């Protein structure tokens, strides 16, 4: 027995509206955090997305479910950086290139990292995801370094620290440096680590 055309159209229309609502909720959460709202509540998200509170919880059973979507969106941004091929031919050139590549990515994720810092003590999901960025950044560094440098603990740990989000955030926030000056400071520090290794 064939399904009436009007019934199919109603079903398709509901699916489109549901998909649109979900996308608006995620976009609202992203926008609120970017604007500096550390832990936007479901009510704020619903108001920004122009949907009912029940709609938010119909798509996301709890706020952790929504945080998961936000984490996925930010990981997608970071993967764009990771996927780009390096221009530098030598590993020291690629290490310095990491500073230039990571700086804009760190700027994009900064508000989300600040929210993560505030939420990890109350959110199971955020707590579990908190250290993922550091692990992924460390693994990316391992991939471009020769084995003997990875095994040189003093050099490797110094580079991992200098190329971390934490180092970038300290220079930008606590020390108040511009993006350009922060890149210059990190590049100078990395060069000194590499020169010290030669010595």
Same domain, 51 and 122: no
42 and 109 co-located in one domain: no
Q: Of 15, 44, 61, which closes a domain?
A: 61
Residues 127 and 105 in one domain: yes
* Residue 116 and residue 19 share a domain: no
- Is 55 in the same domain as 75? no
Number of domains in the chain: 2
Q: Exposure of 178 by Cβ count < 10 A (0-12 exposed, 13-18 middle, 19+ buried)?
A: exposed
Q: 130 and 188: one domain? A: yes
* Cβ neighbours of residue 141 closer than 8 Å, sequence gap 6 or more: 95, 98, 156, 159, 160, 163
* 7 plus 81 within the same structural domain: no
Nearest to 68 by CA among 105, 12, 119: 119
Average pLDDT over residues 184-199: 90
The answer on 95 and 170 residing in a single domain is yes
How does pLDDT run across 136-178, given as a tens digit for each residue? 889 999 999 999 999 999 999 999 999 999 999 999 999 999 9
* Across 20-34, 86-100, 136-150, 183-197, least confident range: 20-34
Most confident of 45-54, 68-77, 171-180: 171-180
For residues 55 and 113, membership in a common domain is answered with no
Are 95 and 160 found together in one domain? Answer: yes
More confident residue, 185 or 38: 185
Residue 30's nearest CA partner among 21, 40, 20 is: 40
Mean pLDDT over the full length of the chain:
85
Let me know whether 127 and 167 are in one domain: yes
Query: Is residue 87 packed enough to be buried (19+ CB in 10 Å), middle (13-18) or exposed (0-12)?
Result: exposed
Point out the domain boundary residue: 9, 32, 61.
61
Q: Which domain holds residue 112?
A: 67-198
């Amino acid at each position: 027995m064939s399904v009436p055309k009007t019934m199919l159209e109603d079903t398709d229309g509901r699916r489109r509206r549901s998909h649109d609502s979900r996308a608006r909720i995620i976009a609202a959460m992203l926008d609120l955090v970017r604007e500096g709202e550390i832990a936007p509540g479901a009510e704020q998200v619903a108001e920004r997305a122009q949907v009912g509170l029940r709609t938010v919880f119909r798509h996301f059973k709890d706020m952790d479910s929504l945080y998961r979507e936000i984490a996925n969106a930010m990981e997608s941004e970071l993967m764009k950086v990771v996927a780009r091929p390096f221009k530098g031919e030598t590993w020291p050139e690629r290490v310095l290139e990491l500073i230039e590549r990571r700086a804009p990515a760190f700027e994009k994720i900064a508000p989300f990292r600040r929210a993560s810092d505030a939420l990890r003590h109350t959110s199971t999901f955020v707590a579990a995801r908190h250290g993922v960025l550091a692990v992924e950044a460390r693994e990316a560094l391992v991939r471009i370094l020769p084995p003997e440098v990875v095994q040189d603990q003093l050099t490797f740990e110094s580079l991992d620290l200098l190329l971390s989000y934490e180092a970038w955030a300290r220079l930008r926030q606590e020390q108040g440096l511009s993006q350009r000056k922060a890149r210059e400071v990190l590049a100078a520090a990395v060069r000194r680590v590499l020169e010290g290794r030669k010595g």
